[in-house]
Homo-oligomer: A and B are copies of this chain.
Amino acid sequence: MSKFRIAVHITPRKGLLDPQGNAVRDALRTLGFNSVKDVHVGRYIIVETDAYDALTAEDAVSDMCAKLLANPVTEDFEIESAVPA
């Protein structure tokens, strides 16, 4: 067993209203960043877990996303490659 670090990106599902992203976009424009077209705000989760190898670690995290970390109704998730921690 070795320790791995896996990063997960969770973003609001496309097409669903993203009030948080909209508020940040508008705020940035008010601050003078007029070229900002769009903003999406999601979650960034880092999981440190023991596993036999990177693949097993990634599989486990994918399972965690489906079960807990992401809300399948409103969110999409993306898992980065595991790195030794």
* Residues in A lying within 8 Å of B, measured CB to CB: 1, 3, 7, 9-11, 24, 27-28, 31, 33, 35-51, 60, 63-64, 67-69
Contact = CB atoms under 8 A, between A and B. Distances in A.
Given A28-B68, A67-B31, A44 B47 contact: no
A29 B69 CA distance: 13
B33 A49 contact: yes
A23 B60 CA distance: 18
B33 A38 contact: no
Contacts of A37: 3, 48-50
Contact of A47 (B11, B36, B51): B36
Contacts of A49: 33, 35-37
